[in-house]
Amino acid sequence: MNIHPEMSRDEIARARLEALKCEHRDLDEAIAALSAQQLTSSLALQRLKKQKLMLKDQIARLEDEITPDIIA
């Protein structure tokens, strides 16, 4: 991810969000591939799932930061 000095805080957050979403998808694919193997290490699978959950939390925080508060 290239961050240019002329990028706004919002643009940086959106770029970071896209990078996290991409990493989350990659982890999802890795978990699926690892699960399909017969000789799978359950510890490795657990670590990947934990990392995926942490990414999901980071994504949710960034989305909340980016989304404007609307008082209804």
- Angstrom distance (rounded) from CA 17 to CA 15: 5
Q: Is-contact 31 52, C-beta < 8 A?
A: yes
- Give pTM, 2 decimals: 0.78
- Angstrom distance (rounded) from CA 2 to CA 44: 31
pLDDT tens for each residue of 12-40 = 999 999 999 999 999 999 999 998 888 87
Q: What is the pLDDT of residue 1?
A: 56
Q: Is-contact 28 49, C-beta < 8 A?
A: no
pLDDT tens for each residue of 46-64 = 999 999 999 999 999 999 9
pLDDT tens for each residue of 35-45 = 888 887 889 99
